């Protein structure tokens, strides 16, 4: 395996559209790096440039310290697993997995041994004589991964490999992907728009937006210390609630004022640039919901309740004036038994601990003490 370095990677098409705008990223030897972001943000284009399937307009790429910017795809030491599996329907599983080695002129015994080792690691041994049409979606994906493994690449590239699977299979395959990485110690670059995959698989996450990287960090760092409103809103389901807010001062100290709805407490002391605050953010799981009109916090009413078994999602609408000022529906995730008993129209108060409130300036940048 080897380290991967992207330096100033750019892709601009003939029509002037820039899909990737100056990407700098270092993936350590043996690291599982996830590129995540909305559709059209440039993550798959970046992956294709690493593979050599997409031409670079500018920048430099190194694998294992060797400049491969102008090296043909077959000689870069990378293997790519596609969303569509791309298996040959007339070949058996074993033939699909060993095809690249066969084309490269490797001896038959060497090809067979490599296929057997890969099949054992992916629990495909009983399926080696089957054709793709006789396999489930999860089995086909494992064959596609096995075809990459037999090549013993320096870097594995995965382009949304689980997106064609149903929910239960995706969960199973996430676990298998994690086990595979642990066994191989492979350097992996994995593209997805699914934040659950990103959070559960990645050693680190690179969050893409409009052709640029907004933030790189561990899943917990990106989730708990987002650098801006985009990152904060992209990760989390339901997404973070954002409300326009200003800081007011009274006898008890500074507080966050949401016009027409009430206020939330701010931590005492600290060095936050309070004058710059324009938006507050609270994740659904951090709201504290109390039925009734009395008490501290923001005034709201229940709009809809979704019972999901282990948790209940309570969608609340702020007081009319607050909604008119830009605050819309607030999603609250609760495990309280009485959450499912709430009815539409029930008045509630919403509050959050100061440590669970994130603040953003007019440009959407996160404000930190």
282-340 pLDDT, tens digit per residue, is 999 999 999 888 778 999 999 999 988 888 899 999 976 555 555 568 999 988 765 65
CA dist., res. 266 & res. 352, Å (int):
10
Residue boundaries of the structural domains of the chain? 4-230, 241-367
The mean pLDDT of the chain is 89
| pLDDT, mean of residues 191-203 | 92
Specify the pLDDT at position 287: 95
Specify the pLDDT at position 270: 64
Nearest alpha carbon to residue 22 among 195, 178, 213: 213
| pLDDT, mean of residues 215-225 | 96
End-to-end CA, the chain:
40
Specify the pLDDT at position 269: 60
CB atoms within 10 A of CB 72: 8
Q: Which pLDDT tens digit goes with each residue over 70-103?
A: 999 989 999 999 888 788 999 999 999 999 888 8
Specify the pLDDT at position 339: 61
Task: Indicate the fold that domain 241-367 takes in CATH.
Answer: OB fold (Dihydrolipoamide Acetyltransferase, E2P) (2.40.50)
CB atoms within 10 A of CB 115: 26
Specify the pLDDT at position 337: 62
Tell me what percent of the residues of the chain surpass a pLDDT of 70.
95
Structural tokens at position 50:
């690493």
| pLDDT, mean of residues 180-199 | 90
Q: Are 213 and 249 in contact (CB under 8 A)?
A: no
The pLDDT of residue 190 is above 90: yes
Which of 92-106, 163-177, 179-193 comes out lowest in average pLDDT?
163-177
| pLDDT, mean of residues 97-119 | 90
CA dist., res. 305 & res. 296, Å (int):
22
CA dist., res. 187 & res. 34, Å (int):
11
Residue with tokens 């400049």: 67
Specify the pLDDT at position 268: 64
CA dist., res. 289 & res. 356, Å (int):
14
How does residue 69 score in pLDDT terms, banded at 50, 70 and 90?
very high
How does residue 22 score in pLDDT terms, banded at 50, 70 and 90?
very high
How does residue 228 score in pLDDT terms, banded at 50, 70 and 90?
very high
The pLDDT of residue 166 is above 70: yes
Out of 28-42, 117-131, 167-181, the most confident range is: 28-42
CATH of domain 4-230: 3.40.50.300
| pLDDT, mean of residues 197-208 | 95
How does residue 198 score in pLDDT terms, banded at 50, 70 and 90?
very high
| Residue 281 CA to its chain's centroid (Å) | 19
Cα-flanking dihedrals φ and ψ of residue 5, to 5°? -125, 125
How does residue 211 score in pLDDT terms, banded at 50, 70 and 90?
very high
The pLDDT of residue 146 is above 70: yes
């Amino acid at each position: 395996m080897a380290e991967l370095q992207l330096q100033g990677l750019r892709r601009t098409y003939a029509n002037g559209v820039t899909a990737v705008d100056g990407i700098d990223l270092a993936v350590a030897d043996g690291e599982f790096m996830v590129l995540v972001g909305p559709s059209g943000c440039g993550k798959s284009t970046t992956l294709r440039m690493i593979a050599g399937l997409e031409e670079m307009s500018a920048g430099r790429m190194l694998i294992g310290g060797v400049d491969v910017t102008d090296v043909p795809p077959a000689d870069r030491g990378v293997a790519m697993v596609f969303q569509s599996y791309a298996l040959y329907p007339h070949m058996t599983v074993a033939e699909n997995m060993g095809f690249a080695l066969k084309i490269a002129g490797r001896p038959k015994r060497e090809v067979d041994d490599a296929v057997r080792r890969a099949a054992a690691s992916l629990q495909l041994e009983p399926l080696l004589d089957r054709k793709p049409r006789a396999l489930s979606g999860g089995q086909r994906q494992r064959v596609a991964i096995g075809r990459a493994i037999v090549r013993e690449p320096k870097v594995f590239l995965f382009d949304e490999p689980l997106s064609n699977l149903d929910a239960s299979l995706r969960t199973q395959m996430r676990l298998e992907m994690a086990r595979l990485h642990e066994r191989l110690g492979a350097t992996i670059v994995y593209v997805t728009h699914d934040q659950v995959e990103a959070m559960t698989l990645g050693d680190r996450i690179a969050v893409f937006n409009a052709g640029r990287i907004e933030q790189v960090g561990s899943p917990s760092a990106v989730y708990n210390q987002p650098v801006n409103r985009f990152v904060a809103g992209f990760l989390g389901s339901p997404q973070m609630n954002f409300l326009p807010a200003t800081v007011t001062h009274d006898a008890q100290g500074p507080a966050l004022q949401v016009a027409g709805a009430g206020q939330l407490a701010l931590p005492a002391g600290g060095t936050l640039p309070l004058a710059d605050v324009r938006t507050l953010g609270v994740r659904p799981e951090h709201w504290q919901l109390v039925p009734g009109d009395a008490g501290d916090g923001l005034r709201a009413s229940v709009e809809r309740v979704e019972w999901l078994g282990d948790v209940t999602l309570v969608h609340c609408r702020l007081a009319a004036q607050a909604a008119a000022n830009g605050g819309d529906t607030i999603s609250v995730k609760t495990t309280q038994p009485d959450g499912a008993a709430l009815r539409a129209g029930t008045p509630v108060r919403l509050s959050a601990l100061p440590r669970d409130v994130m603040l953003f300036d007019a440009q959407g940048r996160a404000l930190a003490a």
